[in-house]
Amino acid sequence: MIIKLSPVRSDAALDISKQGDQLSLNGQVLDFGPLPGGATLPVEAFACPWITAPVERVDGSLVLTITLPHGAMAGEQSRYPADIVRPADGRLALPTDLDPKPEGPSPVWPLVPAAIDWSQVVTTDMKAQAAAEQQLAQVIAEAAGRRAVADAAIAPLQDAVDIDDATETEVETLKAWKKYRVALSRVPEQPNYPNAIDWPAPPD
């Protein structure tokens, strides 16, 4: 587990205890055990004001960000706290200057976990699908831009041909732009589309 601390000026006290993949935040217990590898839970999945960023499981470790309250005259340890990496089970020591300090034994586990909206979990498959959809959208947009350039070049040349007022050079140029436009239309037929595109070169 890696706990990143986000310092905030506040007089609220924070008591954190850990047991496995469970955290008790001022008595509100969050159980991250069901979070699969590579998956993410957005902040909106928690009814907990202390969680301030999406929770992820990266290379098997939970990574989460928790608000760290500090006083008006806090030192550097509170204002620029280091990450808590692989903490042992039990009450966690926080670099806070606030009083009173938590006292007494750690909570008795297991505790009743607080609600987590697991319907909002984003799995690795969902991330891969979203990335693929974004890649396809970018390629389609790029193709549309290139097609617009070709259309703009073809239109006046085609007008000249249609009214029998085109020079030999214009006829050849029109043919080249039309070949380019056809090549653009065949881009989706490439074997690695849309991940790797061999874009045709436009006429000089």
pLDDT in tens, the chain (204 residues): 999 999 999 888 888 999 999 999 988 899 999 999 999 999 999 988 899 999 999 999 999 999 999 888 888 888 899 999 999 999 998 887 665 455 556 666 667 677 899 999 999 999 999 999 999 999 999 999 999 999 999 999 999 999 999 999 999 999 999 999 999 999 999 999 999 999 999 998
Q: How many CA atoms lie within 13 A of 152 on its CB side?
A: 7
Tokens at residue 2, please? 């890696």
Residues whose CB is less than 8 angstroms from the CB of residue 151 and which lie 6 or more positions away in sequence, other chains included: 181
State the pLDDT at residue 99. Answer: 53
Residues whose CB is less than 8 angstroms from the CB of residue 165 and which lie 6 or more positions away in sequence, other chains included: none
pLDDT 10s digits, 74-125: 888 888 999 999 999 999 988 876 654 555 566 666 676 778 999 999 999 9
State the pLDDT at residue 112. Answer: 67
State the pLDDT at residue 116. Answer: 92
Residue type, 62: L
Q: What is the CA radius of gyration of the chain?
A: 29
Tokens at residue 165, please? 């007022």
What is residue 133's three-state secondary structure? helix
How far CA 184 is from CA of 132, 154, 172, 175, in Å, comes to 21, 14, 19, 14
- If 0-12 CB within 10 Å is exposed, 13-18 middle and 19+ buried, where does residue 143 land? middle
